[in-house]
A and B are shown apart, each in its own frame.
Chain A
Amino acid sequence: MTVVTFTVNGRRHTLDTDPDTPLLDVLRDELQLKGTRFGCGAGECGACQVLVDGHSTAACNTPLAAVEGHALTTVEGLDSRLAEAFVAEQAAQCAYCSSGMLIGAAALLRHTPSPTDAEVRRALDAHLCRCGAHNRIVRAVQRAARDLA
């Protein structure tokens, strides 16, 4: 057991737990933040992405010990204008992949505030969407960029 301290959406948490516990389990089961979704457990689908110091990171295969001292943002902690842009473009069918897409969009817009269509597609390249909502998602990210400018 190890004591790990980190912040999530601005709140400080100190947990005494197995340092190998996947971050995803801590977020969903200990902190009751259900917006970060399980998709594959191998960092291959993008459903569980969170921001770690602003960088998009898979929570499913990140051990808790790795976020000691870091600042995390989950989908629940994002600027609400991002989600509003997704609503405006109706940028999902089932929306299971949406949390990861929103995190990916937030990470992109941090350093590329006015991305081109191609830049959005490249940034979300590793995010799987089986419903085929990709084109709407790209439009939503560009709308969010305008709204946040």
Chain B
Amino acid sequence: MRLDFADDGTVQVRTGKVELGQGIRTVLAQIAADELGLAVEGVHVLSADTAFGPDEGVTSGSLSVQDAGSALRAACIQARTRPPRAEPLVGSSLPRTDLAAKFAGAPSFIQDLAPPGLLHGRVLHPPRRDAQLAGVDLARVSSLPGVVAVHRDGHLLGVLAERSRDADKAIEVLSAVARWAPGPPGPEESQARAGLTQQPASSSLVAEHGQRPGDGIARTLTARYSKPWIAHASVAPSCALARWDAGRLEVWTHSQGLYNLRRDLALAFGVDADAVRVRHADGAGCYGHNGADDVVFDAAWLAREALGRTVRVQWSRADELSHAPFGTAMAVDLAADLDARGEVLHWRHQVWSAGHSGRPGRNPAPALLGSWQTAQAVAEPPPLNMPLASGGGAERNAVPGYALPAWQVLWHRVPATLRSSALRSLGAFANVFAAESFVDEIAQATGSDPLQWRLRHLAHDARALAVLDLAAARGGWALRTRADGVGHGLAFARYKGSGAWCAVMAEVEAGAALKVRRLTIAVDVGQAINPDGVVAQIEGGAIQATSWALKEAVQFDAAGITSNSWASYPIRASPKCLPSTCMSWPR
């Protein structure tokens, strides 16, 4: 953490965390203003830049307030020259410091950077990341107006042009003249999902408690749940700028992890990390490891042909929906042994999934798409899975939070059919959906009220009871009326099994299509620096997860990803059928 004090009394804060639309710059300004005795306008939180540190890892896992906020507070206490604010800003819903300019249409995003002498680049990645370039007539492209260079390197193709529109035309022609050798046949999407549990797997015990009893089991309930591959589907395709100058590389990126990216760029281009400067610029909403890092490789790769000029590479919508990593497909089996009274004796949760993290910075080889496709290609590293102590990946939230006499959690690690990496909540999306659906199965089979079953098994956790009670009260659980085709459901989880508490009551209409009429959410995040920011994140997450659950599945065939447009990968576009959400604060 670095603080620079100006003569006018204001302070510049250099953080390693980046703005993703979550409002981190605003909450860090609130924290610094409090400790330094300043108005929030007197604190300028700058975009991260490896030239100025600090390395605070990846902006992910909902750790920025907890980690960077705490570090900033400590730094400000050390550095302060006047008493802290008598009326703290922490805990109040200050408006975001960046939104007024963005609403006014001011240049705000990486896509809006236009330094002098800019060249526009486009890159044609193989349709499948293991496809081979069989032939291409580069002369067809190099003769097009405005084209400065056409570049082929192994199976990777790119163009440089003076104007954006020229680059778009050139890549369209390049795409039409490139011929690809058919790769080995790949599974269809539907086969891949159904076949997840039949794939060769490396199985491991995640955790267990107690033993399955030898007798007393009156019946056993089972259920299987699955989740398809899900795209990040940011509204802005990824973009990056890069410039080489005397063997030194400078890049602008909307990546979540600047230092990890710097390390992998250095590996990929054979230079020292010190020769690479990575600067953050705001991008569109990011919900995990999307194409942000890959497009930086593309820009740096093309910039080597640009004679010192800055190159801007803009991915297309199809690039973003087909080449960026996806959230991993999963299958989850639940089983519960019940005694004669319907009490759970033993609970079993089995997960089939690939690893959930293909992020840069964590493997001997660079985790950048283009670096696997050039003539000096390195092999794509398999996706890692962070240990459970760091939040886990495939097994996140698979360990039951309910008080049960005995349980066992297994993870069957399967190969990644598509490119797998971190998408918001990692394995928790499938694991919580499965476990909470299964609780309802148990409640129904044993004639219990789903709310009462949950409360009874969470008696050890007062904050869990509080959010469940609140969601049920605000959502009208006790008063819910049964109507044809309309149902109500509850779910509860803690973030990563150990963080914030959240309960939701849903009202769902099952007509020709499933429709979520209303979600009532209660959340306890502990101390909130900016309560409205928390509401925005929770509500936004719920709306996005509703879209995943109801509408989304990456589609593919042997040639590549086929869901590569908004028409073929629809997200919950339609505000007219959005759930209404209300937020509650038990504390």
**What is the number of residues of chain A that contact chain B, defined by CB distance less than 8 Å?**
56
**What is the number of residues of chain B that contact chain A, defined by CB distance less than 8 Å?**
58
Of the candidates A21, A36, A127, A132, the one whose C-beta lies within 8 Å of that of B105 is A36
Q: Mark B558-587, 1 if CB is under 8 A from A, else 0.
A: 000000011100010111101011000000
Interface of A is mostly: loop
Q: Is A142 an interface residue (CB 8 A)?
A: no
Q: Is B284 an interface residue (CB 8 A)?
A: yes
Residues of A within 8 A of B578 (CB): 121, 134-135
Q: In the complex, what distance in Å separates the CA atom of A29 from the CA atom of B107? A: 12
Q: Is B111 an interface residue (CB 8 A)?
A: yes
Instruction: Report yes or no: A90 in contact with B287, Cβ–Cβ below 8 A.
Output: no
Residues of B within 8 A of A18 (CB): 165
Q: In the complex, what distance in Å separates the CA atom of A137 from the CA atom of B537? A: 14
What's the nearest-Cβ distance from chain A to residue B225, in Å? Answer: 23
Q: In the complex, what distance in Å separates the CA atom of A18 from the CA atom of B103? A: 31
Instruction: Report yes or no: A40 in contact with B565, Cβ–Cβ below 8 A.
Output: yes
Q: In the complex, what distance in Å separates the CA atom of A97 from the CA atom of B349? A: 40
Residue of A nearest to B96 (CB): A90
Residues of A within 8 A of B99 (CB): 86-87, 90, 92, 95
Residue of A nearest to B579 (CB): A135
With A40-B317, A41-B317: A92-B576 Cβ-Cβ less than 8 Å: no
Q: Is B135 an interface residue (CB 8 A)?
A: no
Residue of A nearest to B105 (CB): A35
Of the candidates A45, A75, A127, A137, the one whose C-beta lies within 8 Å of that of B104 is A75
With A76-B104, A94-B284, A95-B108: A132-B314 Cβ-Cβ less than 8 Å: no
Residues of B within 8 A of A93 (CB): 21-23, 285, 536-537, 540
What's the nearest-Cβ distance from chain A to residue B253, in Å? Answer: 15
Residues of B within 8 A of A57 (CB): none
Q: Is B417 an interface residue (CB 8 A)?
A: no
Q: Is B132 an interface residue (CB 8 A)?
A: no
Q: Mark B103-126, 1 if CB is under 8 A from A, else 0.
A: 111111101101000000000000
Binding site for A on B (CB under 8 A): 20-23, 95-96, 98-100, 102-109, 111-112, 114, 163-165, 168, 233-237, 282-287, 314, 316-317, 532, 536-537, 539-544, 565-567, 571, 573-576, 578, 580-581
Give the 10 A-B CB pairs with smallest separation, nearest first.
A35-B105, A94-B21, A132-B543, A132-B540, A96-B284, A75-B105, A94-B285, A95-B102, A121-B576, A93-B21
